[in-house]
Amino acid sequence: MNNDSIPYLIEPRKLESLLADENLLIVDVGARETYLQCHLPGAIHLDYNDLILGRPPAPGLLPPLDKLQTVLQSIGLTAEKQVIAYDDQGNGRASRLLWTLEAVGHKKSSLLNGGLCAWSNEGHATESAPTQAEPRLYHIDKPGIDESPIEWNSSVIADQAYVLASLADAHIMILDARSPDEYNGLKSPSLRNGHIPGAVNLNWLDSIDRANNLRFKPAATLNSMLAQLGIVREKEIIVHCQTHHRSSHSFVMLRHLGFDKIRGYAGSWSQWGNDPSLPIE
């Protein structure tokens, strides 16, 4: 997913030492207003809405490939670029970018641990003038086949049919990253409340260390939390939330911890909870 010198989860101090690397593409997926006030040196801004379909009932689905390809071209992405993603809101949006890059087969991406909060609170340089991206010709290809029609990298994607079929598979677990109230059916913006049968709940906020500038909690703590839920590396894990924003953060957490069989369900509860034909608990 990334070269050996740049970790998947990168600390601010490490990133600061690499800012002169011309192969870095630092992408701010936070609020535009915040970006115009304060961002990492050289960071390109990317509107989160460009990463999602944005239409009900499942706004979190991936956009059409041609649109997504245009978006990635507009920020100057090339196959050689090492993307460093961050945002100003707990890194859920930045994580959605990393999951999207995996979905299109881009192999070099990292998350700035703690995002803008850690970077700015720990005294690293920022700037306010926007950086203009240099658009590049980036093509989304079927992995391993040159000049092929563009298509998704299905190994990290679970659609509705895949999730439904997985319910009877003991080797697959579903991780619901929503709040306990949403999981337990006490509230939901969808037509139905509850959760996907058999899903376990780990609120994405519980993986964030608020006392350490919104970084992930220590790996040992996260592994213990997951183990208590029966989430183990031997199983395939499907993550979802309401729109695959919060669960993208869970996807990156699992990848950081060494899980290699992970899928994101982009339709998430907005799709599942609005379809009366699907089972719920």
- Checking DSSP bridges between strand 208-209 and strand 172-176, what pairing results, if any? unpaired
To the query of whether residue 38 is one of the catalytic residues in this protein, the response is: no
Q: Of how many residues is the chain composed?
A: 281
3-state secondary structure of 52: coil
**Residue 57 burial (CB count, 10 A):** 14
> Residue 215 belongs to what H/E stretch?
strand 215-216
Distance of alpha carbon 197 from alpha carbon 195, whole angstroms: 6
List Cα–Cα distances, 10 to 44, 84, 85, 109, 110, in angstroms. 18, 8, 10, 10, 7
| Structure tokens given for 25 | 């593409």
- Choose the catalytic residue: 27, 241, 252, 253: 241
Active site residues: 241
